[in-house]
Structure 1
Amino acid sequence: MADLKNMTSEEAKEVHLTLVDTIRKHDESYYREDDPAIPDAEYDELRKQLLELEARFPELVTPDSPSQSLGVAPAKGFGKVKHKVSMLSLDNAFSNDELREFEGRIRRFLGLGPAEEVAFFAEPKIDGLSASLRYKKGRFIQGATRGDGQVGEDITANLRGVTDLPLEFAGAKAPPPDLFEIRGEVYMSKADFLELNKAQAESGGKIFANPRNAAAGSLRQLDHSITASRKLRFFAYAWGEASSVPGQTQAEVLAAFKNWGFSVNPLSEVCANMEEAIDAYRKIEELRAELDYDIDGVVFKVNRLEWQSRLGFVSRSPRWAIAHKFPAERATTIIEDIEIQVGRTGALTPVARLHPVTVGGVVVSNATLHNEDEIIRKDIRIGDTVVVQRAGDVIPQVVEVNLEKRPKDSAPYEFPTRCPICGSHAVKEVNETTGKEDAVRRCTGGLICRAQAVERLKHFISRNALDIEGLGAKLIESFYQDGLIKTPADIFTLEKRDAEPGNLQRIKNREGFGEKATRNLFDAIDDKREVPLDRFVYALGIRHIGQGNARLLARNYLSFDKLRSSLSDTSDNAGDAYAELLDIDGIGAAVADAVTEFFREDRNQEMLDDLLAEVTVTDFDPPAQDSAVAGKTVVFTGTLELMTRQEMKAKAEGLGAKVSGSISAKTDYLVAGANAGSKLKKAKDLDVTVLNEQEWLDLIGN
């Protein structure tokens, strides 16, 4: 990634978009297909780059970013299970300093003094498949995968075959809770993995790359007898919905799990403070090679459940837990070629094709070079011997060039000034504010560029958008090339056009199709003629609008008609409609500008007219909240003393309230702390209900 300190906001937007697209593709491979295209360490490196970029440019932090969302929707081969309590992922740390900063964030959020100790529960991070197990009065009744964190796959029958998963609580000193949801990791031991692959080779079956893939593939078998034959195991480490919780700390609850008959990792321990937690990490890292199961780091959780409750969650992860991943691994190889990929915004992204090299037991053959300026800054050339690193996220990165081994006939890489897809000029725009050229070179071909049009269509049918079963990226490319699908609306008129008399391109006659496959495709398309508002907004591919921001817009506008009419009326980023958009907490100027520009464009309006003639966008149905402030708009101002502002805001949003940054006639409550200023005066002028901190806490039942 280019130097963050010297990166312009426009450059950051392009790098962010590339990272987001790449991470989403790898999420699909990991969560849906159980066949990650890259090792976890590489995936972690991409995610780390994303977080660093968003820290430097906070306007890029949107609820739809992979930093705020998780996983993919469940596959259709299983029933669906809606998690009563979301199954979230964890933020990552890669150094001791990042762990100390994590502790600092906890202290600031809770308002703790330096003398108060924060104890952590440390446990190995198992490299397996997350599962949630539902028990009623101590009896196992249902099991599910994580899925997208909100909805998972029903794998109840398969989980019954997991070796050390109790079907009934055992050894409990007191009656079990009426309802308790155990969460943990299904994994396969290294010995059982080797035995399975040996048997697979002898029978001509699939050879698994590693124990994690083997465990995930085995657990998601439609034939649960196959799962039962594969010696899967389970470590319990968390819980979801529960009628009661057997303890006041993480350690006490895990002790109850063990008493109930669950396997709890024996290396787990309570650390009195962060320095002890860092020591625990070192001890577990030293034992890593000796363990009969794979781990890729150590998880630290605030031990006190009361503090966990107060800290709460962000959209993707809990504030009270973090995973310290094991360090990156490096290797030396040669750049055999540099290829240019064109994204759906026309950005030209260079990718280094490497002589395959093993990094930490995984073969890598490509690395991202990010943009033209990054190539120039590092003076990267074809034929160079380079050090590559994989750590954390998706694609490996080139760390440095070995100039001593550079070929004598080496020449600087000349970045193309024409699009390799359509031949149009590829230019760098000049930032009007700074006067500097953008780092990203873009194709000017627009709609005539196949890469941009095809990538937009791929996004439209992707898993987190319309999710049309059987209509994947390769089929979109093929249909686009043959003129069958050029716009989103064409997807929904495909069957009608296919049946026209004299049509010589019948889909049933295409390679890989037939009557049944064609019927299945048309049925899958028809199944998506009714689309939830948040998915539809995300599918449109508006710049900066990912899943999180799409959900944010849906929650505030509730219907597409209202969203469209409101944002179509904005003029030069001014007026009440634009101000209302900016009032949404989490929507900054960059996002607001992108959304309003999309709806002001006549070609986009024509596309929407055609598309809405074929599909129905269902209104957003907010989750039911048993709260006095659900659906209300609240503003916080002044110096808050009973809770930090961050904690107040998180609590309000968790109860279904909308937190705004400014006062308007639509504001329901202003919570005013000490030294409240102009917002308090405006609230009184508009007759908005003003509450002090204690009145607000009484209202929400805290």
Structure 2
Amino acid sequence: MNSPKVRADELRNLINRYAYEYYVQDNPSVTDGVYDSLIQELKAIEKAHPELITSESPTQRIAAEPLDKFAKVSHAKPMLSLEDVFSMVEVEAWVKRVDKLLPGSAPEFFCDIKMDGLACALIYQNGRLERAVTRGDGRIGEDVTQNVRTIASVPLVLRRPNEAADFSRGTTEVRGEIIMYKKDFAALNRHRQEQGLPVFANPRNLAAGTIRQLDPKLVASRPLRFRAYDLFREDDNTYPPTFLEAYQLLRDIGFAVNQVEAHRGLNGVKRFVAVWQDKRHELPFSTDGLVIKVNDRAQYERLGVVGKNPRGAVAYKFAAEKTTAKLRGIVISLGRTGAATPVAVFDPVQLAGTTVQHASLHNADEIAKKDIRLGDTVIIFKAGDIIPQVESVVKEMRPPGAKPFDFEGELKRQFPGLEFNRPKGEAVYRLRSRSGKLLLKKALTHFASRGALDIDKLGEKNVAALVDAGLVRDLADIYTLKTKQLLKLNRFAELSAANLLAGIQKAKRPELARFIYGLGIRHVGQRTAADLATRFGSLSKLANATLDAIEAVEGVGPVVAESVVAWFADLANRRLLEKFDSVGVRPKTARKPAGKLQGKAIAVTGTLKNMSREEAADQIRALGGVFQTGVGKNTDFLVAGQSAGSAKLSAAKRLRKPILDEAAFLEMIK
């Protein structure tokens, strides 16, 4: 584990490189979500260890130096960045700070959509566009006037409606974002594909790169747009007193602006956030958050600036759709068709509003192509906002000695005794000599077995008939069977079909432990399924449990924990669970048993006359006890039947643990 100082130095070097690529070279290699993730990690380290803060740290500056390709221009009023917040709790804390600095003022809050583009200031002299300047480092930007003039949505002369102030005299500065609409970006990329040219990464990078081109003709050929968000006047008499009025005035003088609102108190702000959290994908342009400001400009100015950020505003950032995580392991999931699918396991991270801890790696070729190694810091993204996947590796943060992943070696380690082959022309390793139907028949027979869901009339022969007829393609399909489908098969008549369907319907509310066992997760037997059910209580909690949490369950080791995580991380298995839910299968919530054995750890050795060892384990668990397969320091009792094992007896004596015979045990549980 790197020390905080070493980690901070690594982050600073990497962040500075990414900032240089974005702001100076105009050739970013990572997205904002990745950049923000690294910045937040560095901020957290510096907050915990203030002695590590340095003047050259990326957290202590606004941005990199502007390019030398264009003339440098000083901003009349600095274009400062906003403090980022990531939750309503942080917004509420900001509001409390504002209230403290403006006692008794009850400020109104202005809410806007944060555009994901290139910030730019347009200076109008006597109503005519004189200069366009990029944000640069906030104090000095670049003169890009000739390029901005080609943007159709930028007025070359300000409109003069009757209701607007007369801006035909003096200096007016309009600030906004140069963006590209998503539909225009898609059309441009389609055109490039048709021409055999490489496509662009995203609208923001393209807009920023285009506006810095030296040839205005190239800029004019790309569908850039300008949307305004602020207005300044050298004459205070025509200076809009609120941000809301500034937006209204901007629209009047010819600028496109966003949908904005102003609210007294936090309830309206919360509604605005909630609405755009969902509706943001409907916007024509890309956004990564919202802007919340004190609406009254005099109050806003009175609040001043702290460090590099104005006190009167914050940027509420939506949950990142990309982030970084440290790869802890790669486990392999074995699907019902025999396909071996690798899954990345990492510490839980927030991604697009949800917590994720594993991601699909698809196949061995994908791992090799991206050169993914254990211990790597990887970039995680959600495909279609649903499926977590590994995009790439941050190789600058690779630990020393990290070796390429040995897929075939891992197959042998994780599945000893099984043979796999990779059919010619395919990217996936599969179980040798196993057909999909054969695996499905075995899986369904197990699912319906007495130890699992105990579905009457669904034995091997009926399972085979259903699978061979194509009526069942996965475990959940049995719940969609109809009488008329069964009657077409030789094995069923009216009564037998009715009995089978009745047994299936009865199994729609199974015990959680039976359902977990019935899923056929490798290495998960009845005892482990019962322990998992008791520990997590519901299927959803188990499905989202971390590797550490599963491994902490009594009797569950690293191999079993990896197998459970891999099963629930497999996309096909996730879809199967969704299908179970859609057809009405609802495993009962497991409640922790309470009884006379509550908290007692009991092991059993030898043969019992009145019950099997499995039945004894069930009795112990039902009374709140923990059934152990071995004797250890935390064992409370050892139950010894006939032909008791010498190892367990010796261990109990050595550790001075009470040894009960069967009669004493029966009396205890009576």
User: TM-score scaled by structure 2?
Assistant: 0.50
User: TM-score scaled by structure 1?
Assistant: 0.48
Flag the structure with larger Rg: 2
